[in-house]
Amino acid sequence: DTGVSQDPRHKITKRGQNVTFRCDPISEHNRLYWYRQTLGQGPEFLTYFQNEAQLEKSRLLSDRFSAERPKGSFSTLEIQRTEQGDSAMYLCASSLGTGRRGNTEAFFGQGTRLTVV
């Protein structure tokens, strides 16, 4: 399978615990995005990387959230001291990101469903 891969698919955690999600983008895709989606809403932008550089962070990304893409390949999203309001689907997407027609199209993984109890 050469699509975007996310792990785990589901995570249930107790409030206050830390969680980490992983995203493996499509091979050779330079750009990687993280989005969050709550029930009944469209995906909301969190942050994105061009290779290993984090280029933009949404104000939704509080101090408890951190994302990394250390070698420009896979990425991790960590949430510290989880709160019930963090319960959502966390989506990762990747694109070639070169700005040429067609290269900015973003392809999504299946998401990680987080439930904070």
Partner 1 sequence: GQQLNQSPQSMFIQEGEDVSMNCTSSSIFNTWLWYKQDPGEGPVLLIALYKAGELTSNGRLTAQFGITRKDSFLNISASIPSDVGIYFCAGQFGNEKLTFGTGTRLTIIP
Q: Which residues bind partner 1 (CB under 8 A)?
A: 4, 6, 31, 33, 35, 40-45, 48, 56, 58-60, 91, 93, 97-99, 101-102, 104-111, 113
The nearest distance, CB 90 to partner 1, in angstroms, is: 10
Tokens 């951190």 belong to residue: 66
**DSSP 8-state secondary structure symbol assigned to residue 84:** G
| Whole-number Cα distances in Å, 72 to 12, 15, 27, 45, 87 | 28, 31, 11, 19, 27
| Residues forming a β-bridge with 7 | 22
**Smallest gap, in angstroms, from Cβ of residue 99 to partner 1?**
4
Minimum CB separation of residue 57 from partner 1 in Å reads 10
Residue whose CB is less far from partner 1, 51 or 104: 104
